Amino acid sequence: MKVLHFVTGGFSGATKVAVDLITAHNQIEATKNLLVLRRKKTTVPEKLVELDNKNIDYRVITGTTHLATVHELRRLCEQWQPDILVAHGFPEHILGRQAGLLAKVPHLVQVEHNSKERYTPWKLYQTRKLSRSTDKVVAVSKGVASELSKQNLEAPVQAITNGIDSHRYGGTTMLPLVERPQDLIMVARYAKSKDHVTLIEALYQLKRKGIALSLTLVGSGRKRYENEVHSLVKRYNLGSQISFIKYSNEVDKLLMQHKAFVMSSRFEGLNLSVLEAMASGCVVIGSQAIGVEELINDGVDGFLFPIGDDKVLAGIINNVLSDPKAYEQLTTTARKKVLSSYDKKQVTQAYYDLFQQLLEKL
């Protein structure tokens, strides 16, 4: 079995899923996997080194224009001759399947990682047309599957919920909430959809009430939005309360130093950072966005707030951090749910089973 995964080189959640699948499937005999990254500004050497360390076979192809990307990927497919091409995310799932068709790859799979994308009428026409030649469309959550049902695709849609490495996050040495030195953390790339602004506004509201909490923001991304966040922090004089970390390969350790995790997204596919925080024993506070809401049972294993509502968010944060000891059972419930339902071993097995089914059609 030869499987080629094509995904953005931006090292987003989609890239992470592709890397996890290849890492797991590389352990299976008679299986060859190739990761192809579409070059982005954030396709930097330190991130590529991590792929080398995991012994992942990868190529980085041009991202200058869509036409150039399709041309280069087509040539690579003709040389490597995969049995299955898995195209992750938008617009890569369009470009990847176009190249796969031109190279006559036997099986094409689309993986949709988000519940909301910038589909113009032309792009929607392209993805509908490509669905006729696509064996399967995989949605990374039930919410994404529901959104895909509105696109009138001709390929069957299957939900394979994303998962995490539950052995890496949490473990037996987690500190109780009251002993954790830091208050809040959010792990997300800088993009308007992640809505860091709502969290900053909530933090400012608490400051005005005399409640000064620490916040760690981990991530990089769109410079314009990152500058907007920094400007807001400066305007509210919150600099002494907030630590900015552009990139860390020790997010697991960072999470276990914090009492609460916030995900203020406006939309998602399925947010892996939420699952990682739940596994790490943080009190998770998430927006009622697709890809976040379905992960949290409000008041049982985390808390939900209306999208963009900084006032409600501020209230929840204040309640949790005023008496963190009261929420230890909630974090235990959250961790048990992740271990039982969102372990990536289940995810990688589901994808492998799908690939095996496709090969039976040959």
Cα-to-chain-centroid distance, residue 203: 25
Structural domains of the chain, count = 2
What pLDDT is stored for residue 118 in this prediction? Answer: 80
Strand order in the sheet with 258-263: 242-245, 215-218, 182-187, 258-263, 283-287, 303-305
Q: Are residues 322 and 348 part of one domain?
A: no
Residue 354: CB atoms within 10 A of its CB come to 19
Strand order in the sheet with 84-88: 58-61, 32-38, 2-8, 84-88, 107-112, 136-139, 157-159
Q: Is 75 domain-assigned?
A: yes
What pLDDT is stored for residue 190 in this prediction? Answer: 93
Q: Are residues 89 and 39 part of one domain?
A: yes
What pLDDT is stored for residue 41 in this prediction? Answer: 86
Q: Are residues 351 and 319 part of one domain?
A: no
pLDDT tens column, 185-238? 999 989 999 999 999 999 999 999 999 999 999 998 888 999 999 999 999 999
Q: Is 221 domain-assigned?
A: yes
How far apart are the C-alpha atoms of 347 and 332, rounded to whole Å?
Answer: 23
How far apart are the C-alpha atoms of 39 and 47, rounded to whole Å?
Answer: 12
**DSSP codes of every residue in 294-358:** GG--BTTTBEEE-TT-HHHHHHHHHHHHHSGGGGHHHHHHHHHHHHHH-BHHHHHHHHHHHHHHH
Phi, psi dihedrals of residue 267, rounded to the nearest 5°: -160, 155
Instruction: Select from 259, 262, 276, 269 the least CA-distant residue to 307.
Output: 262
The answer to whether the beta carbons of residues 75 and 59 sit under 8 Å apart is no
Instruction: List the pLDDT tens digit at each of the 362 positions of the chain.
Output: 999 999 999 888 889 899 999 999 999 988 999 999 999 988 888 889 999 999 999 999 999 999 999 999 999 999 999 999 999 999 999 999 999 999 999 999 999 998 888 889 999 999 999 999 999 999 999 899 999 999 999 999 999 998 998 888 987 789 999 999 999 999 998 999 999 999 999 999 999 999 999 999 999 888 899 999 999 999 999 999 999 998 888 999 999 999 999 999 999 989 999 999 999 999 999 999 999 999 999 999 999 999 999 999 999 999 999 999 999 999 999 999 999 999 989 999 999 999 999 998 75
Q: Is 170 domain-assigned?
A: no
Q: Are residues 349 and 331 part of one domain?
A: no
What pLDDT is stored for residue 184 in this prediction? Answer: 98
Q: Is 217 domain-assigned?
A: yes
Contacts of 143 (CB under 8 A, 6+ apart): 115, 269, 270, 290, 291, 293, 294
Q: Is 169 domain-assigned?
A: no
Q: Is 234 exposed, middle or buried (0-12, 13-18, 19+ CB in 10 A)?
A: exposed
The answer to whether the beta carbons of residues 301 and 333 sit under 8 Å apart is yes
Q: Are residues 18 and 141 part of one domain?
A: yes
Q: Are residues 181 and 242 part of one domain?
A: yes
How far apart are the C-alpha atoms of 273 and 77, rounded to whole Å?
Answer: 33
How far apart are the C-alpha atoms of 330 and 187, rounded to whole Å?
Answer: 21
Q: Is 337 domain-assigned?
A: yes
Q: Are residues 229 and 354 part of one domain?
A: no
Find the domain containing 134 and state its range: 2-163+343-359
Q: Is 168 domain-assigned?
A: no
pTM: 0.82
CATH code where residue 46 lies: 3.40.50.2000
What pLDDT is stored for residue 47 in this prediction? Answer: 87
Instruction: Select from 192, 184, 158 the least CA-distant residue to 358.
Output: 158
Q: Are residues 232 and 135 part of one domain?
A: no
Q: Are residues 141 and 30 part of one domain?
A: yes
Instruction: Select from 270, 16, 254, 300 the least CA-distant residue to 143.
Output: 270
Q: Are residues 335 and 200 part of one domain?
A: yes
How far apart are the C-alpha atoms of 28 and 329, rounded to whole Å?
Answer: 39
pLDDT tens column, 302-340? 999 999 999 999 999 999 999 999 999 999 999 999 999
Cα-to-chain-centroid distance, residue 80: 28
How far apart are the C-alpha atoms of 258 and 202, rounded to whole Å?
Answer: 18
Q: Are residues 90 and 66 part of one domain?
A: yes
Angstrom distances, CA of residue 222 to CA of 115, 195, 196: 20, 12, 12
Q: Are residues 312 and 218 part of one domain?
A: yes
The answer to whether the beta carbons of residues 93 and 125 sit under 8 Å apart is no
What pLDDT is stored for residue 249 in this prediction? Answer: 85
How far apart are the C-alpha atoms of 84 and 106, rounded to whole Å?
Answer: 6
Q: Is 172 domain-assigned?
A: no
What pLDDT is stored for residue 362 in this prediction? Answer: 56
- The terminus-to-terminus CA distance of the chain in angstroms comes to 11
